[in-house]
Amino acid sequence: MDKKDLILGRLRGLGNGIIDDVERHTVPAIKVPSRGTSNIVYDDAKRYYVLGDRYGKRSLGNVKQIKKVAQMVSTANFCKGLVETQKTATIREMYYVSEGWDVDFGDQQESNLIGEDLEVTLGVTREDLGLMPEEDGAAVYGDLTVKDDDVEVNALKSGKSGYSISPTIDDVEFLDHGVERVIAVETMGMFHRMVQEEAYKKFNCLIVGLKGQAARATRRFLKRTNEELGLPVYICNDGDPWGFHIAMVIISGSAKLAHVNHELATPNAKFLGVTASDIVNYDLPTDKLKDIDVLRLKELYKDPRYHEDFWKLEIKKMLKIGKKAEQQSFSKYGLEYVVEKYLPEKLDAMES
């Protein structure tokens, strides 16, 4: 059974459940797995957040829930149309499409939540249902050939800014590659530095420019390079709590998306820096930690995703030195330094 049939089957299942209830003269209701914090659990074996087995019921017998049930069914029906015609819509577009329904959404927040309810109820991702986020994913540079919409694209021949991961990355087929690893960097400034210094040759890698917090499409892409292509994935971000956490969400997923982390998290991905130790060892230009940085580091310290000794040590060290540093601060030693000295030393240490 191909994916399209699977998704359509799940959508029909939702509708048929309601019809069955009606025919059996019981009040129609939908079982929705709970996304409350008490039902979000860090799974030590899987190394990411998952949902527990608690769920709630949305029943037409409850006046307060009637509108939500109707919105879920309308949304499911809209998604069925998308999947059948192989189209996609942004969640913003769906919000406007709902103007034509009897149960239109009051605001974007409301339609987003129904989208997530549908994800968790059907056990598929929003993207599987044709509902796309607004933003594109990361930029990729290096020897990877993909089939995107019947066109073959090589990410070494897509221009200096590389191949853009589109929200529909799951429809993209990996055809061929000639690399040994993937190195993701936080900013496009560092991406262009890596391209210019030919890091893709030197490290025989794909370079991925995350553009800050990684989009869902980027996380899917990184997971697929790791699990489908068997490539090690390294993440090189700024040396501050925000850089750490951008990496950690790629590695262990977010609590908010616990119901889809199995599709998004890459537990084998590794943080390649910048660490507090790097700040000291490389004598990097720094900024003083702000109050909000300190607060955030203390939160991370208690977060189950940061349970490894490596993180405990680095977070404590950063709090002790009271300083943070950006990726681009290596330029103090010249533009080439990060590719010629820093990354080789770090990769050597991690891969030996």
The CA–CA distances, whole Å, from 251 to 242, 245, 271 equal: 14, 9, 9
Instruction: Tell whether residue 186 is among the known ligand binding residues.
Output: yes
CA atoms within 13 A on the CB side of 335: 10
Residue from 48, 163, 221, 234 in contact with a second copy (CB under 8 A): 163
Contact status: 139 vs a second copy (CB under 8 A)? yes
Q: How many separate helices (H) and strands (E) can be counted in the chain?
A: 14, 17
How many angstroms separate the most distant Cα atoms in the chain?
76
Nearer to a second copy, 88 or 268 (CB): 88
According to the annotation, is 135 in a ligand binding site? Answer: no
Handedness of CA 118, 124, 125, 129 (dihedral sign): negative
For a second copy, which stretch binds (CB under 8 A), given 95-103, 242-250, 288-296, 341-349?
A: 95-103
145 touches a second copy (CB under 8 A)? no
Q: Which is nearer to a second copy, 112 or 164 (CB)?
A: 164
> Minimum distance between the CB of residue 216 and a second copy, rounded to whole angstroms?
14
Positions 259 through 318 that interact with a second copy (CB under 8 A): 285
Of 42, 55, 96, 301, which residue is the catalytic one?
96
**Contact between 103 and a second copy per CB under 8 A:** no
Cα-based distances in Å from 137 to 132, 134, 178: 11, 10, 22
- Alpha-carbon distance 310 to 116, whole Å? 34
Q: Which of 12-20, 117-125, 165-173, 311-319 is the region at the interface with a second copy (rule: CB under 8 A)?
A: 165-173
Answer for which of 148, 170, 340, 345 binds a second copy (CB under 8 A) is 148
Residue 82: Cβ-neighbour burial (10 angstroms; 0-12, 13-18, 19+): middle
DSSP code at position 231: -
What is the bridge-based pairing of β-strands 287-288 and 270-273?
Answer: unpaired
Query: Judged by CB under 8 A, does residue 198 bind a second copy?
Result: no
* Residue 331 touches a second copy, criterion: CB under 8 A: yes
Alpha helix ranges (H) inside 303-342? 309-321, 337
- Tell me, yes or no, if 96 is annotated catalytic: yes
Give the footprint of a second copy on this chain (CB under 8 A).
87-90, 92-94, 96-97, 99-100, 132, 134-136, 139, 146, 148-149, 151-153, 156-168, 172, 187-189, 192-193, 196, 285, 326, 328-335
Catalytic positions, written as ranges = 96
